[in-house]
Structure formats: structure tokens, C-alpha cells
């Protein structure tokens, strides 16, 4: 019998930690860990002198809610945004995404989400009382793409936002310029916005990064420097939009979530934005990750290569399983028998079942070993 005076909790909150984190907790120090999506380095050594300058020469008390004005001006100039008022600094991209969702959603609204897609999208939408509606990413010529016809069919009178990610996690999917233009045209008469998750944008292999918010006031760009500059622990990112009313709403939401972004991280980011290292470090990582993904393919069996879709950027691969089976069972067997940890595709949505995600931001010898071990199953 259910007690009458149970402690209240948000019924939309997931029951436990994510499947990705559960599996990662099983890893041993000796495990070849292809699980968590983080760079192999714990902040580049070359950036550490900037940190020392930032901490020794700046005030570390609260900044204004949106973040330090000089840092925002430098960021706006770097990415050709519409001035400091068009962006705010956040505790990484995930807090930025939550602030943007909180600023734009009402109870019962619908949000279109990529499937397979980043595992945090749907829970965040549900926690705010809105409804996640998935749209399937389509495999075309052995690469994942956004299917605009399918997206159009999912839009209803309650759709308030669509989340895009290019390159996407876990698929490395791309969004072509023509596709984005067509999507903007599609939503022109709708009461909805585009939330663009651009965390891997600076790691795109074929085109330079720019925030999609610079192209339309119907877009909110969300980004961080965790992946592009290996600054995971600094928790610093930004939200940008050229719609001033929308920017103010995001700022209000951010204010009540976090007050302001970590001030030491803001000061460090200001130093980084003024340095040529901002460009060179991101370019170096992009080159490194492209080489690692190529190295994995080079040492894969023919069938594993065939089952592994091409990616547009980042450091993930999302191969199909060698036969029809549970992705959770496959990953559990891989961990038990080979001491290799991968993430079940089902963690990224219903359409991720039948695949696994591999994070290859690892030393080259581990990338080669991963290809050799997995090739035994293909």
C-alpha cells in the first residue's frame, strides 16, 4: 500500500543515472574504455599558463548574470555574433541547453529530437513537462543525415522547438547548408525555434565552425569548449541568439539555474579567446580525431568497416552490430570477455538499438586494439 505522506519528487525525472554512466562504473583501471565521450587529455598543457594569468590578474567575485562583458565581447567577435547582448556564458553546453529549453517551453509543448541522439535531450524535455517527439536520422550512402520530409511530418500545432546537432552524438551526422535553409523555410510560419547543439561544431572535418544563430533569429546556438579544447572540467559554454527577447528569456532562466558561469572559467576563456592557441588547439584536435577514426578503419575487418557509417566530425563511431541482437547484451559480453567497454546504441534512442557507440579520443595504440578486438566479432 502506498504511503500517503511520501516525499514528493518530479515524476518526469529518470529513475536512475544513465545507462552510459552505469556501464562506465563497471570499468576497471585495465579496461579499454570506449565509453565516456571525453578527450584523452586532461586540459592541454599548452593552455595552462593562460590559466595562471587568468587566476592571478583578475577579480574572481561574481560577474553579471550573463557573464563578464569583455569575455562576451571577445566571444562575439570571434564568432561574428550580434554583440555581447546576443549571448550568455553558461556552465557548459548542458546547462545552456536546459536554460534555453526552460526559456522557450510551456507544459505540454512538443520538442523534436534526433533518434539516435544525445541521451540527455529527452529527459530534460520531460522534466520541464513537455513532450519529446523523436525524428529518425536516416542512413544515406553509409552516413547519417537529417530527413526533412520526416521532420515535416512530425510538426504539429504544439511543436515549439527542434533540436539539431551537427556533427551529432553518437552518429556523427551532418546538416548540409541547403538542408538548414530548407528547415528555416519550413518553420517560417510556425511558432517554433531551432535549438542547435554545436558542441562538436569546431571538430567538423570539412567545414569551419560558425554558430547557426548568426543565420536566423529563429535559432539558439548552444556550445562549449569541453570537446574542442579538452576543457571538460572547466564547465564553460555559451548560448547565443540574435533575437533579443529570446536572449533575455534565456538569461532569466540561466540566472535562476546558476547565477553566473564559473568566474575562474570565464577569466580563463577571456585569455584563451585573445590567444592564437584558441584556433590552433581546436584545429589540432580536429586533425587528431580524424586520423584516429581513419586508423580504426584501417585496422578493422572488412565487415566491421562495412558496418561502420562515415562521420562528419567529432571522435565517435556508431557501428551496426554484426547480427540482430541486443546492444546491451553485446556490450556486456564485450566487457566480460574482452575487458572492452562500449556504449549500447539503445542508450541514444529506440533507433539506436542494433548499434554501439565507440569513443575514440584515445591513444593510437588503444584505437588499434579496439579495432582488432571488435573485428573478432565481425
316-317, strands of its sheet edge to edge: 316-317, 356-359, 343-344
Fold of 19-44+278-375: 3.90.1150
What's the pLDDT score for residue 335?
A: 94
Q: Give pLDDT tens digits for 117-137.
A: 999 999 999 999 999 999 999
1 pLDDT higher than 70: no
Q: Are 253 and 280 in contact (CB under 8 A)?
A: no
Asked: is 49-275 a CATH 3.40.640.10 domain? The reply is yes
16 pLDDT higher than 90: no
Which grid cell sits at 94?
548542458
Q: Give pLDDT tens digits for 165-213.
A: 999 999 999 999 999 999 999 999 999 999 999 999 999 999 999 999 9
Alpha-carbon distance of 367 to 359, in angstroms, equals 9
The DSSP letter of residue 320 is B
Q: Count the alpha carbons within 13 Å of 140 in the hemisphere toward its beta carbon.
A: 9
Alpha-carbon distance of 165 to 17, in angstroms, equals 23
Q: Are 352 and 345 in contact (CB under 8 A)?
A: yes
What's the pLDDT score for residue 115?
A: 97
323 pLDDT higher than 80: yes
The DSSP letter of residue 142 is T
Q: Give pLDDT tens digits for 234-263.
A: 999 999 999 999 999 999 999 999 999 999
Q: Give pLDDT tens digits for 24-71.
A: 777 788 999 999 889 988 899 999 999 999 988 778 999 999 999 999
21 pLDDT higher than 60: yes
Alpha-carbon distance of 294 to 275, in angstroms, equals 30
Q: Locate the domains of the chain by residue range.
A: 19-44+278-375, 49-275
5 pLDDT higher than 80: no
What's the pLDDT score for residue 20?
A: 67
Mean per-residue pLDDT for 364-376? Answer: 98
Look over the chain and give the mean of its residue pLDDT values, rounded to a whole number: 94
Mean per-residue pLDDT for 330-350? Answer: 95
Distances (CA, A) of 196 to 96, 168, 174, 235, 293: 11, 10, 12, 19, 25
Torsion angle of C-alpha atoms 217, 273, 271, 248, degrees rounded to 10: 0
What's the pLDDT score for residue 248?
A: 96
What's the pLDDT score for residue 83?
A: 87
Alpha helices in the chain (DSSP H): 19-24, 48-57, 69-79, 92-104, 121-127, 148-154, 177-187, 244-258, 263-273, 277-298, 302-307, 327-338, 364-375
**What confidence category does residue 10 fall into, taking pLDDT thresholds of 50, 70 and 90?**
confident
Q: Give pLDDT tens digits for 273-304.
A: 999 999 999 999 999 999 999 999 999 999 99
Mean per-residue pLDDT for 357-377? Answer: 97
CA 205 to chain centroid? 16
**DSSP-assigned beta bridge partners for residue 131:** 110
- Using a 10 angstrom Cβ sphere, with 0-12 exposed, 13-18 middle and 19 or more buried, the burial of residue 59 is exposed
What's the pLDDT score for residue 2?
A: 57
Distances (CA, A) of 74 to 77, 208, 250: 5, 18, 20
What's the pLDDT score for residue 27?
A: 78
Mean per-residue pLDDT for 322-334? Answer: 94
Grid cell 587568468 in the structure block, residue: 54
pLDDT over 90 percentage in the chain? 88
- Identify the three-state secondary structure at position 355: strand
How many residues belong to the chain?
Answer: 378
131-136, strands of its sheet edge to edge: 87-90, 237-240, 219-224, 193-197, 159-165, 110-115, 131-136
**DSSP-assigned beta bridge partners for residue 159:** 110
Alpha-carbon distance of 184 to 316, in angstroms, equals 28
Amino acid at each position: 500500500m502506498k504511503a500517503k505522506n511520501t516525499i514528493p519528487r518530479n515524476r518526469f525525472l529518470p529513475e536512475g543515472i544513465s545507462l552510459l554512466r552505469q556501464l562506465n562504473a563497471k570499468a576497471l583501471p585495465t579496461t579499454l574504455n570506449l565509453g565516456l565521450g571525453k578527450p584523452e587529455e586532461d586540459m592541454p598543457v599548452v593552455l595552462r599558463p593562460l590559466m595562471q594569468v587568468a587566476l592571478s590578474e583578475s577579480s574572481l567575485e561574481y560577474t553579471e548574470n550573463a557573464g563578464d562583458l569583455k569575455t562576451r565581447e571577445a566571444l562575439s567577435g570571434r564568432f561574428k555574433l550580434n554583440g555581447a547582448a546576443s549571448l550568455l556564458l553558461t556552465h557548459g553546453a548542458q546547462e545552456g541547453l536546459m536554460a534555453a529549453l526552460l526559456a522557450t517551453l510551456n507544459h505540454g509543448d512538443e520538442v523534436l529530437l534526433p533518434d539516435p541522439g544525445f541521451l540527455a535531450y529527452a529527459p530534460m524535455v520531460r522534466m520541464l513537462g513537455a513532450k519529446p517527439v523523436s525524428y529518425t536520422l536516416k542512413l544515406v550512402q553509409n552516413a547519417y543525415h537529417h530527413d526533412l520530409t520526416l521532420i515535416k511530418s512530425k510538426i504539429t500545432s504544439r511543436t515549439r522547438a527542434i533540436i539539431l546537432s551537427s556533427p551529432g552524438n553518437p552518429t556523427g551526422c551532418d546538416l548540409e547548408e541547403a538542408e538548414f535553409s530548407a528547415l528555416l523555410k519550413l518553420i517560417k510560419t510556425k511558432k517554433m525555434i531551432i535549438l542547435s547543439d554545436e558542441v562538436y561544431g569546431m571538430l567538423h572535418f570539412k567545414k569551419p565552425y560558425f554558430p547557426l544563430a548568426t543565420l536566423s533569429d529563429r535559432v539558439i546556438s548552444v556550445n562549449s569548449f569541453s570537446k574542442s579544447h579538452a576543457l571538460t572540467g572547466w564547465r564553460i559554454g555559451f548560448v547565443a541568439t540574435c533575437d533579443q527577447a529570446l536572449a533575455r528569456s534565456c538569461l532569466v532562466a540561466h540566472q535562476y539555474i546558476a547565477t553566473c558561469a564559473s568566474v575562474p572559467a570565464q577569466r580563463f576563456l577571456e585569455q584563451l579567446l585573445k590567444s592564437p592557441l584558441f584556433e590552433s588547439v581546436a584545429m589540432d584536435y580536429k586533425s587528431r580525431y580524424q586520423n584516429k577514426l581513419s586508423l580504426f578503419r584501417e585496422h578493422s575487418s572488412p565487415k566491421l568497416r562495412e558496418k561502420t557509417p562515415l562521420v562528419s566530425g567529432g571522435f565517435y563511431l556508431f557501428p551496426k552490430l554484426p547480427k540482430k541482437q541486443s546492444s546491451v547484451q553485446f556490450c556486456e559480453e564485450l566487457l566480460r570477455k574482452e575487458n572492452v567497454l562500449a556504449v549500447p546504441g539503445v542508450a541514444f534512442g529506440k533507433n539506436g538499438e542494433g548499434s554501439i557507440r565507440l569513443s575514440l579520443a584515445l591513444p593510437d595504440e588503444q584505437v588499434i586494439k579496439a579495432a582488432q578486438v571488435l573485428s573478432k566479432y565481425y
